[in-house]
A = this chain, B = another copy of it.
C-alpha cells in the first residue's frame, strides 16, 4: 500500500505565487516542536507592514506558546471542535481588532485591516515552513476577559501556528478532511461585474 501524497497546492485557473498557491490551513500540528522564535518574529513583522486605512494599523496580537498557562487558557476559550486539534500548535496567536481609538473614535475598517495583517502573517509563516490555521470558533467574551481587553479591542480570530504534524495523530473524523482536495468557487462567480 502506498503512502497517500499530501499535495495541498491549489488548482489555479491563473498562475499565482507559489507561496499563495501552496498555503493552506492544516489541523495536524507537531505537538513537540517549540515555536521557532525567528520565524514567529518574521510572521509578526509581515503583519506589521500590511496596509491599513489611514495607516492606523488597527491590529494587536497576543502570543501564547505551548506549555505556558496562557496557551492552555486560550485553548479553553475555543469551541470543543477546535480544542480537539489546536492544542498541539506550538503557538496560539490571538488577532485583535482595534475598533476604536483611545479617544473612542470608531475605526471602521479595523476588522478588514486585521484580516489583511493576518493574511500577511500567514503568507510569511508558510514561506518559512510554518503552518497557520485561523479559527473563528471561540468564546469572544471569555477570551476578552482572559486577556483583560478594553471594550474597543475585539478578539477576532485565534491562529494556530507551528510546524506541520502527522495526519494520523488527528481524531479519525478529521483525517479525511485534512487530505481532501482544496476547493474554491470559480472566479467567474466571484467577479460580479466587469467592464
Contact = CB atoms under 8 A, between A and B. Distances in A.
B57 A185 contact: yes
A125 to B, nearest CB: 11
A106 to B, nearest CB: 12
A160 to B, nearest CB: 12
Interface of A: 10, 12-17, 19-21, 23-25, 38, 41-42, 44-51, 53-55, 57, 59-65, 68-71, 96-97, 108-109, 111-120, 122-124, 127, 134, 136, 147, 156-157, 182-185, 187, 190-195
24 contacts: A10-B49, A14-B44, A16-B46, A17-B19, A17-B46, A20-B123, A20-B124, A21-B49, A48-B187, A53-B134, A53-B136, A61-B192, A62-B191, A62-B192, A62-B193, A63-B191, A64-B195, A68-B195, A96-B192, A109-B157, A112-B115, A112-B156, A114-B115, A115-B119
